[in-house]
Amino acid sequence: MNDYLTLTADEHLSLLRETHLHTQGQTSIKEWQIIDGQGRVTGGVILQDKMNLRRSYSGEYRLTQRNHQGDIVVDRLISSL
Protein backbone atom coordinates (compact mmCIF):
# COMPACT_ATOMS: atom_id res chain seq x y z
CA MET A 1 0.00 0.00 0.00
CA ASN A 2 2.87 2.40 0.74
CA ASP A 3 3.85 2.23 -2.95
CA TYR A 4 0.72 4.21 -3.81
CA LEU A 5 1.06 6.85 -1.08
CA THR A 6 2.97 10.12 -1.08
CA LEU A 7 5.00 9.95 2.15
CA THR A 8 8.30 11.56 3.10
CA ALA A 9 11.15 9.48 4.52
CA ASP A 10 10.37 10.35 8.15
CA GLU A 11 6.56 9.80 7.94
CA HIS A 12 4.82 6.61 9.01
CA LEU A 13 1.24 5.36 9.34
CA SER A 14 -0.53 4.81 12.64
CA LEU A 15 -3.83 2.88 12.56
CA LEU A 16 -6.63 5.08 13.88
CA ARG A 17 -9.67 2.83 13.47
CA GLU A 18 -11.14 -0.05 11.51
CA THR A 19 -14.84 -0.20 10.71
CA HIS A 20 -16.76 -3.17 9.33
CA LEU A 21 -20.05 -2.40 7.61
CA HIS A 22 -22.35 -5.39 7.66
CA THR A 23 -24.04 -4.42 4.42
CA GLN A 24 -23.16 -5.10 0.81
CA GLY A 25 -20.67 -7.89 1.40
CA GLN A 26 -18.99 -6.98 4.71
CA THR A 27 -17.21 -3.81 3.60
CA SER A 28 -14.18 -2.85 5.66
CA ILE A 29 -12.84 0.70 6.10
CA LYS A 30 -9.44 1.32 7.67
CA GLU A 31 -8.21 4.78 8.66
CA TRP A 32 -4.63 5.76 9.46
CA GLN A 33 -2.99 8.97 10.60
CA ILE A 34 0.24 10.04 8.93
CA ILE A 35 2.78 10.89 11.64
CA ASP A 36 6.04 12.74 10.93
CA GLY A 37 9.38 12.28 12.71
CA GLN A 38 8.43 14.80 15.44
CA GLY A 39 5.16 13.00 16.21
CA ARG A 40 2.88 15.53 14.50
CA VAL A 41 -0.11 14.43 12.44
CA THR A 42 0.50 15.49 8.84
CA GLY A 43 -2.47 13.83 7.15
CA GLY A 44 -4.58 10.72 6.89
CA VAL A 45 -5.23 7.65 4.77
CA ILE A 46 -8.47 5.73 4.21
CA LEU A 47 -8.63 2.28 2.63
CA GLN A 48 -12.01 0.86 1.61
CA ASP A 49 -12.39 -2.68 0.30
CA LYS A 50 -15.14 -4.48 -1.63
CA MET A 51 -15.39 -1.57 -4.03
CA ASN A 52 -16.21 -3.93 -6.93
CA LEU A 53 -19.77 -4.28 -5.60
CA ARG A 54 -20.60 -0.91 -7.06
CA ARG A 55 -20.88 -0.93 -10.81
CA SER A 56 -19.10 2.41 -11.24
CA TYR A 57 -15.89 1.14 -9.58
CA SER A 58 -13.61 -1.34 -11.27
CA GLY A 59 -11.06 -1.75 -8.46
CA GLU A 60 -11.17 -3.95 -5.40
CA TYR A 61 -9.91 -1.18 -3.08
CA ARG A 62 -10.17 2.60 -2.90
CA LEU A 63 -7.19 4.36 -1.35
CA THR A 64 -7.50 8.02 -0.36
CA GLN A 65 -4.76 10.15 1.18
CA ARG A 66 -5.37 13.65 2.54
CA ASN A 67 -2.89 16.23 3.75
CA HIS A 68 -3.18 18.12 7.06
CA GLN A 69 -5.48 20.73 5.49
CA GLY A 70 -7.87 18.01 4.25
CA ASP A 71 -6.94 18.30 0.57
CA ILE A 72 -6.86 15.03 -1.37
CA VAL A 73 -3.32 14.03 -2.32
CA VAL A 74 -4.05 10.51 -3.63
CA ASP A 75 -7.41 9.04 -4.66
CA ARG A 76 -6.86 5.75 -6.40
CA LEU A 77 -8.68 2.54 -7.23
CA ILE A 78 -6.40 -0.48 -6.96
CA SER A 79 -7.01 -4.15 -7.67
CA SER A 80 -4.67 -5.57 -5.03
CA LEU A 81 -2.41 -4.47 -2.21
Per-residue pLDDT 10s for the chain (81 aa) are: 888 999 999 999 999 999 987 766 667 899 999 999 999 999 999 998 865 555 555 568 899 999 999 999 999 988 877
Q: How many CA atoms lie within 13 A of 36 on its CB side?
A: 8
Short-list 30, 66, 74, 65, CA closest to 50: 30
Residue 11 has a pLDDT of 96
**51 secondary structure, DSSP code:** G
**∠ CA 41-63-15 to the nearest 5 degrees?**
40
